Amino acid sequence: MKNEKYKKLSFLEKLFSITNTKNNKMIVILGIPFIINYCDQYKKLCLKTKVKENKIVFCNFKGLGYSCNPKYIAQEIIKRKLDYELVWLVNNPKQFEKDNSFPKQIRLVKFRSRKAFVELASAKLWVDNQRKLYHTFRGLTKKENQYYLQTWHGSLGIKQIGLASPLTKKENDWVPLGIKDSKMINIVLSNSKFDDDVLYENFFHNVKTEKLGHPRNDIFFKDNAPEIKKIKSYYNIPHDKKIILYVPSFRDYKGFEWNILDYPKILNAFRAKYQSDFIFLSRMHPRNIYQNKVLIPKSKDIINATHYPDIMELLASADVLISDYSSCMFDFILTKKPIFVLAADKDKFTEERGLYYPLESTPIPIAEDNETLEYNILNFDVEKYKKGVELFLNEKGCIEDGKASIRVVDKIEKIMEGKIDE
């Protein structure tokens, strides 16, 4: 049957043309359309491909690269010299291979490719930190002898996610795929009672959470001298300068009225408070990656760290963090180092995106303008802050202790040996 797309073709296109959509391809030869449905094709491919008992396929932020929880899980696997075939789905394998961004033990495969489906279909274990919407939409199907470990990419986060967010209630076209994805998940990693509740709701009440901790946060429980040296060398920062890391979150609404940080004023406030020299590392959200040069002013005291591949290394090297709603605050809070919030659009963001708890309920000083931020820095009470951090973490039921990677890979070993019946 000739569909609506065929009817819209020109005369020449009806003689010969190839039209692609998200889930099918239409080839027209001499007026005869042939439809290739990717969903059916990939679903059949998944079901007929045999599972390799020692293969693990990792993915991070839809092919973004080597970071977040999957990175630190892979590092522990490699450290143990486990005999697993490790595959990572990335957007640009050739570039990462050129940069030597990944350990040699990991094989890279293009995220948006038929090969990616073959890898997923043949893996004993999937490890991901985001919903597998791209592949699920195109027919990805998990078999009974496969296991899906969802690490997620934030913990104790203040921003509402999934159907909890007012934004999602307005724009929820992804929900059917999200439900399908969540039904394939075996467990979601959690680091707290708070996360248990949030993640259970976020994944449509279809998943089991397990408090093993978040492997990426292990970095805060060890000596960070190597990370500090690495970052200062990478950005040519003098060893005696302290680092202020600025990490604003993404807004779902248009405009940059929130981008009000007065870098010189705040830099002077830190220098006066701590009698030390500071420099800014400014990192925009990946969804603002193309605006980063506009959002970050050029200055010898401000370094654009938007493209640095692993935010955890930036956090580990920082002496101070400034943010607004980013979940990275609730990773960095484990260090008990100072955090300051600058949220010029607090009321608007709360209404549009939604928060699980008020910013004011955290131990972090809150400012909606630069003058208040300056005051908060100059009057920061470190002992009061540390006591507040302890209370906050206890109230949330946080279990982070620097051993999450160990617990997670212990679990993975049991999965790969077939000793877990889910």
Instruction: Give tens-digit pLDDT for 148-188.
Output: 999 999 899 899 887 777 766 666 778 888 999 999 999 99
- Considering the domain architecture, whether residues 11 and 83 belong to the same structural domain is answered as no
Three-state secondary structure along 223-270? CCHHHHHHHHHHCCCCCCCEEEEEECCCCCCCCCCCCCCCHHHHHHHH
- Considering the domain architecture, whether residues 252 and 347 belong to the same structural domain is answered as yes
- Considering the domain architecture, whether residues 175 and 235 belong to the same structural domain is answered as no
pLDDT in tens, 12-61: 777 777 766 666 666 777 777 766 566 666 777 777 889 999 999 999 99
pLDDT of amino acid 292: 65
| CATH label of the domain that carries residue 190 | 3.40.50.11820
What DSSP string runs through 8-27? TS-HHHHHEEEEE-SSEEEE
Cβ pair 50, 43 in contact under 8 A: no
| CATH label of the domain that carries residue 272 | 3.40.50.12580
What tokens appear for 236 in the block? 């040519």
Q: Does residue 27 form part of some domain?
A: yes
Q: Does residue 44 form part of some domain?
A: no
pLDDT of amino acid 34: 64
Kindly report the average pLDDT of the chain as a whole number. Answer: 90
Phi, psi of 366 (to 5 degrees): -110, 135
pLDDT in tens, 193-226: 999 999 998 888 888 999 999 999 999 999 999 9
Tell me the residue type at 222.
K
- Considering the domain architecture, whether residues 197 and 62 belong to the same structural domain is answered as yes
Q: Does residue 42 form part of some domain?
A: no
- Considering the domain architecture, whether residues 232 and 87 belong to the same structural domain is answered as no
Q: Does residue 31 form part of some domain?
A: yes
pLDDT of amino acid 221: 97
- Considering the domain architecture, whether residues 408 and 361 belong to the same structural domain is answered as no
* Number of domains making up the chain: 3
Q: Does residue 391 form part of some domain?
A: yes
pLDDT of amino acid 297: 79
Q: Does residue 257 form part of some domain?
A: yes
Cβ pair 199, 385 in contact under 8 A: no
Q: Under 8 Å CB-to-CB from 301, ≥6 apart: which residues?
A: 263, 264, 267, 278, 279, 280
Q: Does residue 422 form part of some domain?
A: no
From CA 186, how far away is CA 303, in angstroms rounded?
A: 41
Q: Does residue 43 form part of some domain?
A: no
pLDDT of amino acid 278: 97
- Considering the domain architecture, whether residues 128 and 12 belong to the same structural domain is answered as no
pLDDT of amino acid 256: 78
- Considering the domain architecture, whether residues 381 and 406 belong to the same structural domain is answered as no
- Considering the domain architecture, whether residues 227 and 368 belong to the same structural domain is answered as yes
Domain span at residue 250? Answer: 223-396
- Considering the domain architecture, whether residues 288 and 349 belong to the same structural domain is answered as yes
- Considering the domain architecture, whether residues 318 and 406 belong to the same structural domain is answered as no
Specify the DSSP class assigned to residue 338. Answer: -
Q: Which segments of the chain have a pLDDT < 50?
A: 1
From CA 246, how far away is CA 210, in angstroms rounded?
A: 31
pLDDT of amino acid 252: 75
- Considering the domain architecture, whether residues 102 and 134 belong to the same structural domain is answered as yes
Distances (CA, A) of 108 to 46, 65, 89, 175: 19, 10, 6, 29
